[in-house]
Amino acid sequence: MADQHFMLGFTARFVRANGVRLHAWTAGEGPALVLLHGYPQSGIMWRKVAPQLARRFSVVVPDLRGYGDSDKPRDGYDKKTMARDIHELMTALGHGRYAVVGHDRGARVSHRLALDQPEAVTKLCVLDIVPTHTVFRDTGRELAAAYWHWFFFQVPDLPEVMIQASSEPFLRFMFRALSSEAGAIEEAAFQEYLRVFRLPGTIRAGLEDYRAAATRDFADDEADLAGRVRCPVLAIWGKAGKMDALFDVLATWRQKADDVRGHSLPCGHFIPEEAPELLLRDLEDFLV
């Protein structure tokens, strides 16, 4: 399990939810708030913002199904199932209503969570994504080049073999390519990401997460095109990342929700690690 110093003041625990054992960090008092990480990371990606948020909120920081120290089953990587994991986790911890902040893959889980549990999700913040259905619907030459890994990951078996054989170079490349702030992911944090990335099942699970996006998730999103997120939405993205050049990010979310605000921050993809102070300011304004 991750060293306690990554999440100062938090308690690590395992909770069974939706048939899987999820690892989660918990701290704080007040309205409930769940923070969901992205690929290829774990809950410690919130280490620079979670302690501050725990001064005002009951903060829950899980490792998603297939990631970190959580279980890595063979299936269940569609976002409906992963969202159900988080809802049952929050229910098990005594939180019937909660706000959600998600980054990357965790933001896709968060979007589905807000659609499927409208009575539970009070506010939704999505970091550095546009909706999954929008990505596949609008894929062209520039987007395909920028999102190369989405399509490489669809190939069965081969990505598992290649990434497993070069896990550290792969992980270092992903962090370097997608961030703009040198040193934002310090070496100790990188080594923790590498530890959980090398746990049996993690590489396969992450790939299945992306494969589900192109199949089950797209179909689920297509079926729900008429549905809208009811709660307020905050969309934040990195000015130096791929979103800013490829999309009108706010417009994509206004197709999905009625109450949408947001802006870019001067950083790359890994916003909670590259621009934690700016993100905290935005979150504290939005979540109160």
Burial tier of 231 (Cβ tally within 10 Å: 0-12, 13-18, 19+) = middle
Cβ(251)–Cβ(93) below 8 Å: no
C-alpha–C-alpha distance, residues 232 and 258, integer Å = 8
**Residues marked as catalytic:** 104, 269
Q: Which residues contact 5 (CB under 8 A, 6 or more apart)?
A: none
Is 0.85 surpassed by the pTM of this model? yes
Residues constituting the chain: 288
Cβ(118)–Cβ(85) below 8 Å: no
For residue 241, the number of C-alpha atoms closer than 13 Å in the C-beta half-sphere is 28
DSSP H or E run through 265: strand 260-265
Cβ(12)–Cβ(4) below 8 Å: yes
- Tokens read off for 35: 């923070």
Strand residues in 70-120 grouped as ranges (E): 98-103
Helices (H), 120-258: 132-137, 141-146, 148-152, 158-165, 167-178, 187-197, 202-212, 218-223, 242-246, 249-254
Cβ(85)–Cβ(64) below 8 Å: yes
C-alpha–C-alpha distance, residues 252 and 130, integer Å = 6
Query: What pLDDT score does 184 carry?
Result: 96
Cβ(31)–Cβ(261) below 8 Å: no
C-alpha–C-alpha distance, residues 35 and 30, integer Å = 15
The pLDDT profile of the chain, 288 residues, written as one tens digit per residue, is 777 789 999 999 999 999 999 999 999 999 999 999 999 999 999 999 999 999 999 999 999 999 999 999 999 999 999 999 999 999 999 999 999 999 999 999 999 999 999 999 999 999 999 999 999 998 999 999 999 999 999 999 999 999 999 999 999 999 999 999 889 999 999 999 999 999 999 999 999 999 999 999 999 999 999 999 999 999 999 999 988 999 999 999 999 999 999 999 999 999 999 999 999 999 999 998
